[in-house]
Structure 1
Amino acid sequence: MFERFTTAARDTVTGAVAEARRAGAATVTEEHLLMALLAQGALDPLGVDRAAVAAGLARARRRGGMSRADEEALAGLGIDLARILSRVEETHGEGALAAATPRRRTLGGRHVPFAPGSKRVLEQSLRIAVGRGDRHIAAPHLLLALLSRPGTVSEVLADHGVTYAAAESGLAAA
């Protein structure tokens, strides 16, 4: 499949691996793919504020990766996630839930595997390219694949006006 990736798409994938290494993460996640797209400027045609998106991702990590939909579902059961987060951070320090993700101390040049979700993004980018009649998978296909999956990444992007439809029309115009 990678033979169909454009140089920019390959740079995104290698950038995501670098992001995962820099963060000390055990796997390459969808968030790392988004951070690599941001670093490349792939979302610039959509008027996305890189710092604001990075801050939104940091807030989501602070919640332990729970989406607002998760938070609303818990609230429906009478569980106040913000209160629980506050209590956990009082006891264990700010970002205590974010630190619960598996990490490696040093990754050096070792292989960092892709998490199941990020693998699905890569597979979905191929489907999107084929569905659009494109011969190659480019960075915009990766963005559309990220947006097609529910979860924290698409939620943070939607907070900044980047939906699947907006990205599709904005990238087509660029």
Structure 2
Amino acid sequence: MFERFTKAARAVVKGAVEHAERSGSTVVTKEHVLLALLDREGTRAAAALRALCPPANRPSLVAALADARRRAGLSRADASALADLGIDVGAIVARVEETHGEGALAGDRKDSGWWKGRPSFSREAKTVLEQSLRVALARKDREIGDEHILLALTMTGGVVAEALADHGVTYASVEAAVSTATAP
């Protein structure tokens, strides 16, 4: 599959690994993939993201991801389902952070000195990369570009797709923006 990745798509994968390493994470997540996409310039995905989520709105997007990370990666739909069962996620997060410190549920390893090597990709991040192939095939494209990765992120559900949708970045809007963007 990776032989079909364009230079831009490979740069996104490499950027996701770098984001994971900088954060001290041993696993590359969908969030790292999105952060790598946000770093890109001069590509179809970068043009689509710039049109749909201008740089001025990106701090709010990153903050939404950080907020979800504080909730142990639970989406609002997950928190709502738990609330229906009488479980207040906000109260649980507050109590855990009161005892163990802010961000205790984030899963970030700050003590990763024992770990050496490259981070592996989470199941969800692998799913995004696999889905990008399916998107490219459905669009009858010969290669997998960074725009296919962005489209895959919008359709795989979870916190990243939810945060993107909250900022106007949906599958339909990205598809429209990508179709009007020119190839680099």
Tell me the TM-score normalized by structure 1: 0.92
Alignment counterpart, residue 73 of structure 2, candidates 48, 65, 71:
65
Q: Relative to structure 1, is the Cα distance of residues 168 and 107 closer, same or farther in structure 2, using a 3 angstrom cutoff?
A: farther
Which residue is equivalent to 1:45? 51
* Residue 123 (str. 1) matches residue 130 (str. 2): yes
Contact 1:27–1:113 (Cα < 8 Å) also in 2: yes
- d(CA) in 2 for partners of 1:103, 1:28: 17
Larger mean CA deviation between 126-135 and 40-49 belongs to 40-49
- Tell me, what secondary structure is at the counterpart of 1:105? helix
User: Alpha carbon RMSD of aligned pairs, Å?
Assistant: 1.8
Is there any run of 5+ residues in structure 1 with no aligned partner, and where? Answer: none
Which residue is equivalent to 1:12? 12
Alignment counterpart, residue 120 of structure 2, candidates 113, 116, 135:
113
Which residue is equivalent to 2:106? 98
Which residue is equivalent to 1:3? 3
The number of aligned residues is 173
Is there any run of 5+ residues in structure 2 with no aligned partner, and where? Answer: none
- d(CA) in 2 for partners of 1:16, 1:160: 21
- d(CA) in 2 for partners of 1:65, 1:146: 15
Runs of 4+ in 1 over 4 A off after TM superposition: 100-103
Contact 1:125–1:144 (Cα < 8 Å) also in 2: yes
- d(CA) in 2 for partners of 1:142, 1:74: 31
How far is 1:113 from its partner? 1.3
- d(CA) in 2 for partners of 1:5, 1:83: 44
Identity %: 54
Contact 1:20–1:32 (Cα < 8 Å) also in 2: yes
- d(CA) in 2 for partners of 1:13, 1:53: 20
Which residue is equivalent to 2:174? 167
Which residue is equivalent to 1:21? 21
Which residue is equivalent to 2:159? 152
- Tell me, what secondary structure is at the counterpart of 2:61? helix
- Tell me, what secondary structure is at the counterpart of 2:28? coil
How far is 1:107 from its partner? 5.8
How far is 1:39 from its partner? 1.0
- d(CA) in 1 for partners of 2:119, 2:179: 33
Tell me the TM-score normalized by structure 2: 0.87
How far is 1:106 from its partner? 6.4
Residues 25-48 of structure 1, C-alpha deviations (whole Å, 9 max, x = no match):
111111110010011142213234
- d(CA) in 2 for partners of 1:64, 1:99: 7
